[in-house]
Amino acid sequence: MKLKKRNKRTRIRGGKTCGWGFRQKHRGSGNRGGIGMAGSGKRGDQKKQKALAIGNGRYFGKRGYTSRPNARKVNKVLNLNEIKNNFSGKEINLKDYKILGEGEGFNAVITAESASKSAVEKMEKAGGKIIVKKIVEHKKVEVKKSEKKSSPEEKKVEKEEKVKNKGSEKEEKAKKPAKKEKVKKSEKK
Protein backbone atom coordinates (compact mmCIF):
# COMPACT_ATOMS: atom_id res chain seq x y z
CA MET A 1 0.00 0.00 0.00
CA LYS A 2 1.23 3.45 -0.97
CA LEU A 3 1.74 5.67 2.02
CA LYS A 4 2.22 9.03 0.29
CA LYS A 5 0.19 9.81 -2.79
CA ARG A 6 1.81 12.23 -5.24
CA ASN A 7 0.12 15.59 -5.43
CA LYS A 8 -1.95 16.07 -8.57
CA ARG A 9 -0.67 19.63 -8.94
CA THR A 10 2.90 18.41 -9.48
CA ARG A 11 1.84 16.15 -12.33
CA ILE A 12 -0.16 18.89 -14.08
CA ARG A 13 2.46 21.67 -14.07
CA GLY A 14 4.06 22.12 -17.48
CA GLY A 15 1.00 20.95 -19.36
CA LYS A 16 -0.97 23.53 -21.29
CA THR A 17 -4.42 22.54 -20.13
CA CYS A 18 -3.69 21.75 -16.46
CA GLY A 19 -6.22 18.97 -16.18
CA TRP A 20 -9.14 20.68 -17.82
CA GLY A 21 -8.93 18.94 -21.17
CA PHE A 22 -7.96 20.27 -24.55
CA ARG A 23 -11.08 21.96 -25.85
CA GLN A 24 -13.26 23.87 -23.46
CA LYS A 25 -13.30 27.00 -21.34
CA HIS A 26 -10.01 26.63 -19.52
CA ARG A 27 -7.86 26.21 -22.58
CA GLY A 28 -6.74 29.58 -24.08
CA SER A 29 -5.93 33.15 -23.19
CA GLY A 30 -9.43 34.34 -24.08
CA ASN A 31 -10.94 33.09 -20.86
CA ARG A 32 -8.04 34.52 -18.87
CA GLY A 33 -8.42 37.94 -20.49
CA GLY A 34 -4.87 38.00 -21.84
CA ILE A 35 -1.43 37.92 -20.28
CA GLY A 36 0.08 40.38 -17.84
CA MET A 37 -1.46 43.86 -17.98
CA ALA A 38 -3.70 43.11 -20.94
CA GLY A 39 -7.17 44.50 -20.36
CA SER A 40 -5.95 47.26 -18.09
CA GLY A 41 -7.37 50.03 -20.25
CA LYS A 42 -10.02 52.63 -19.56
CA ARG A 43 -12.65 50.16 -18.43
CA GLY A 44 -10.34 47.57 -16.81
CA ASP A 45 -11.49 48.27 -13.25
CA GLN A 46 -10.19 44.97 -11.90
CA LYS A 47 -6.61 45.92 -12.92
CA LYS A 48 -6.67 49.67 -12.30
CA GLN A 49 -5.50 49.45 -8.69
CA LYS A 50 -2.51 47.35 -9.68
CA ALA A 51 -1.66 49.74 -12.54
CA LEU A 52 -1.84 52.80 -10.30
CA ALA A 53 0.36 51.15 -7.68
CA ILE A 54 3.01 50.14 -10.22
CA GLY A 55 3.53 53.44 -12.02
CA ASN A 56 2.85 56.04 -9.31
CA GLY A 57 -0.21 57.21 -11.23
CA ARG A 58 1.68 57.49 -14.52
CA TYR A 59 0.33 54.32 -16.12
CA PHE A 60 -2.59 56.01 -17.92
CA GLY A 61 -2.47 58.92 -20.35
CA LYS A 62 -0.02 60.24 -22.88
CA ARG A 63 3.29 61.87 -22.04
CA GLY A 64 6.57 62.67 -23.67
CA TYR A 65 7.83 64.46 -26.72
CA THR A 66 5.68 65.72 -29.54
CA SER A 67 6.92 65.96 -33.09
CA ARG A 68 7.34 69.39 -34.66
CA PRO A 69 4.16 69.37 -36.77
CA ASN A 70 2.09 68.46 -33.71
CA ALA A 71 3.80 70.82 -31.28
CA ARG A 72 1.58 73.58 -30.02
CA LYS A 73 2.66 77.03 -31.09
CA VAL A 74 3.05 79.32 -28.10
CA ASN A 75 2.66 82.98 -28.94
CA LYS A 76 4.03 85.39 -26.41
CA VAL A 77 1.36 88.03 -26.76
CA LEU A 78 0.19 90.82 -24.44
CA ASN A 79 -2.60 93.33 -24.83
CA LEU A 80 -2.29 96.96 -23.76
CA ASN A 81 -4.79 96.49 -20.91
CA GLU A 82 -2.77 93.56 -19.50
CA ILE A 83 0.44 95.60 -19.60
CA LYS A 84 -1.26 98.56 -17.92
CA ASN A 85 -2.64 96.39 -15.08
CA ASN A 86 0.45 94.24 -14.44
CA PHE A 87 3.44 96.50 -15.10
CA SER A 88 4.38 99.87 -13.68
CA GLY A 89 7.00 102.48 -14.50
CA LYS A 90 7.85 104.71 -17.43
CA GLU A 91 9.99 102.10 -19.20
CA ILE A 92 8.72 98.55 -19.72
CA ASN A 93 10.93 95.91 -21.33
CA LEU A 94 9.00 93.16 -23.15
CA LYS A 95 11.56 92.12 -25.78
CA ASP A 96 10.13 88.63 -26.38
CA TYR A 97 6.50 89.73 -26.65
CA LYS A 98 4.15 90.99 -29.32
CA ILE A 99 1.92 93.89 -28.22
CA LEU A 100 -1.72 93.89 -29.32
CA GLY A 101 -4.12 96.80 -29.19
CA GLU A 102 -6.91 95.63 -26.89
CA GLY A 103 -7.43 98.22 -24.19
CA GLU A 104 -6.42 101.86 -23.79
CA GLY A 105 -3.01 103.38 -24.36
CA PHE A 106 -1.00 104.96 -21.51
CA ASN A 107 2.04 107.13 -20.98
CA ALA A 108 5.07 104.79 -20.99
CA VAL A 109 7.85 103.54 -23.27
CA ILE A 110 7.49 99.84 -24.15
CA THR A 111 10.26 97.86 -25.87
CA ALA A 112 8.88 94.80 -27.69
CA GLU A 113 9.64 92.37 -30.48
CA SER A 114 6.63 93.44 -32.53
CA ALA A 115 3.37 95.31 -32.19
CA SER A 116 0.12 95.69 -34.05
CA LYS A 117 -0.63 98.94 -35.81
CA SER A 118 -3.60 99.67 -33.52
CA ALA A 119 -1.42 99.25 -30.40
CA VAL A 120 1.16 101.73 -31.72
CA GLU A 121 -1.55 104.28 -32.60
CA LYS A 122 -3.24 104.00 -29.19
CA MET A 123 0.03 104.44 -27.32
CA GLU A 124 1.03 107.50 -29.37
CA LYS A 125 -2.39 109.08 -28.78
CA ALA A 126 -1.98 108.67 -25.02
CA GLY A 127 1.56 110.11 -25.07
CA GLY A 128 3.40 106.81 -24.84
CA LYS A 129 5.62 104.98 -27.27
CA ILE A 130 6.28 101.42 -28.45
CA ILE A 131 9.81 100.64 -29.71
CA VAL A 132 9.72 97.58 -31.95
CA LYS A 133 11.72 95.65 -34.49
CA LYS A 134 8.74 95.42 -36.81
CA ILE A 135 5.16 96.65 -36.95
CA VAL A 136 2.70 93.96 -37.96
CA GLU A 137 -0.10 94.90 -40.31
CA HIS A 138 -3.00 92.60 -40.98
CA LYS A 139 -3.35 92.13 -44.72
CA LYS A 140 -6.70 91.31 -46.21
CA VAL A 141 -6.54 88.74 -48.95
CA GLU A 142 -8.76 89.48 -51.92
CA VAL A 143 -10.24 86.50 -53.66
CA LYS A 144 -10.51 86.93 -57.40
CA LYS A 145 -13.79 85.85 -58.87
CA SER A 146 -13.46 83.50 -61.78
CA GLU A 147 -14.51 84.81 -65.15
CA LYS A 148 -17.85 83.85 -66.62
CA LYS A 149 -17.99 80.45 -68.15
CA SER A 150 -18.09 80.85 -71.90
CA SER A 151 -21.00 79.47 -73.86
CA PRO A 152 -20.55 76.64 -76.40
CA GLU A 153 -20.69 79.17 -79.30
CA GLU A 154 -17.82 81.20 -77.82
CA LYS A 155 -15.79 78.03 -77.37
CA LYS A 156 -16.25 77.18 -81.06
CA VAL A 157 -15.03 80.65 -82.07
CA GLU A 158 -11.94 80.26 -79.84
CA LYS A 159 -11.14 76.87 -81.39
CA GLU A 160 -11.45 78.30 -84.92
CA GLU A 161 -9.07 81.14 -84.01
CA LYS A 162 -6.54 78.65 -82.69
CA VAL A 163 -6.75 76.61 -85.90
CA LYS A 164 -6.23 79.78 -88.01
CA ASN A 165 -3.20 80.74 -85.94
CA LYS A 166 -1.69 77.29 -86.40
CA GLY A 167 -2.27 77.50 -90.17
CA SER A 168 -0.52 80.88 -90.39
CA GLU A 169 2.44 79.52 -88.43
CA LYS A 170 2.82 76.63 -90.88
CA GLU A 171 2.77 79.05 -93.84
CA GLU A 172 5.51 81.18 -92.25
CA LYS A 173 7.69 78.10 -91.77
CA ALA A 174 7.17 77.12 -95.41
CA LYS A 175 8.27 80.62 -96.62
CA LYS A 176 11.60 80.38 -94.79
CA PRO A 177 14.38 78.89 -96.94
CA ALA A 178 15.24 75.33 -96.11
CA LYS A 179 18.58 74.69 -94.48
CA LYS A 180 21.22 73.15 -96.70
CA GLU A 181 22.04 69.63 -95.78
CA LYS A 182 25.60 68.83 -95.03
CA VAL A 183 27.18 66.62 -97.61
CA LYS A 184 29.13 63.72 -96.29
CA LYS A 185 32.82 63.52 -97.18
CA SER A 186 32.42 60.05 -98.66
CA GLU A 187 29.83 61.32 -101.19
CA LYS A 188 32.15 64.11 -102.43
CA LYS A 189 34.81 61.64 -103.61
Query: Domain range for residue 120?
Result: 77-136
* Arithmetic mean of pLDDT, 170-180: 61
Instruction: State the pLDDT confidence band at 178, using cuts at 50, 70 and 90.
Output: low
Q: Are 39 and 47 in contact (CB under 8 A)?
A: yes
Integer Cα distance of 112 and 79 in angstroms: 12
Which residue did the predictor score with more confidence, 123 or 23? 123
Averaged pLDDT score across all residues of the chain = 79
Helix (H) or strand (E) holding 136: strand 129-136
Total tally of structural domains belonging to the chain: 1
Q: Looking at residue 104, which CATH number applies to its domain?
A: 3.100.10.10
- Asked whether residue 96 is assigned to any structural domain, the reply reads yes
pLDDT reported for residue 132: 87
- Asked whether residue 54 is assigned to any structural domain, the reply reads no
The reported pTM is 0.39
Statement: residue 150 has pLDDT above 70: no
- Asked whether residue 172 is assigned to any structural domain, the reply reads no
DSSP 66-118: --GGGSPP---EEEHHHHHHH--SSEEEEEEEEEE--S---S-EEEEEEEEHH
φ/ψ of 103, rounded to 5, equals 110, -175
Exposure string over 88-122, b if 16+ CB within 10 A, otherwise e:
eeeebebeebbbbbebebbebebbbebbbebbbeb
Statement: residue 175 has pLDDT above 80: no
- Asked whether residue 117 is assigned to any structural domain, the reply reads yes
- Asked whether residue 72 is assigned to any structural domain, the reply reads no
Which residue did the predictor score with more confidence, 64 or 92? 92
* Arithmetic mean of pLDDT, 33-47: 80
Statement: residue 89 has pLDDT above 90: no
- Asked whether residue 63 is assigned to any structural domain, the reply reads no
- Asked whether residue 93 is assigned to any structural domain, the reply reads yes
Statement: residue 171 has pLDDT above 70: no
Statement: residue 25 has pLDDT above 60: yes
Q: What is the pLDDT of residues 51-84, one digit of tens each?
A: 888 877 778 777 788 787 877 778 889 999 999 9
Which residue did the predictor score with more confidence, 77 or 143? 77
Cβ within 8 Å of residue 129, ≥6 positions away? 108, 109, 110, 123
* Arithmetic mean of pLDDT, 5-12: 84
- Asked whether residue 107 is assigned to any structural domain, the reply reads yes
* Arithmetic mean of pLDDT, 156-169: 74
* Arithmetic mean of pLDDT, 153-164: 77
pLDDT reported for residue 92: 92
Which residue did the predictor score with more confidence, 123 or 64? 123
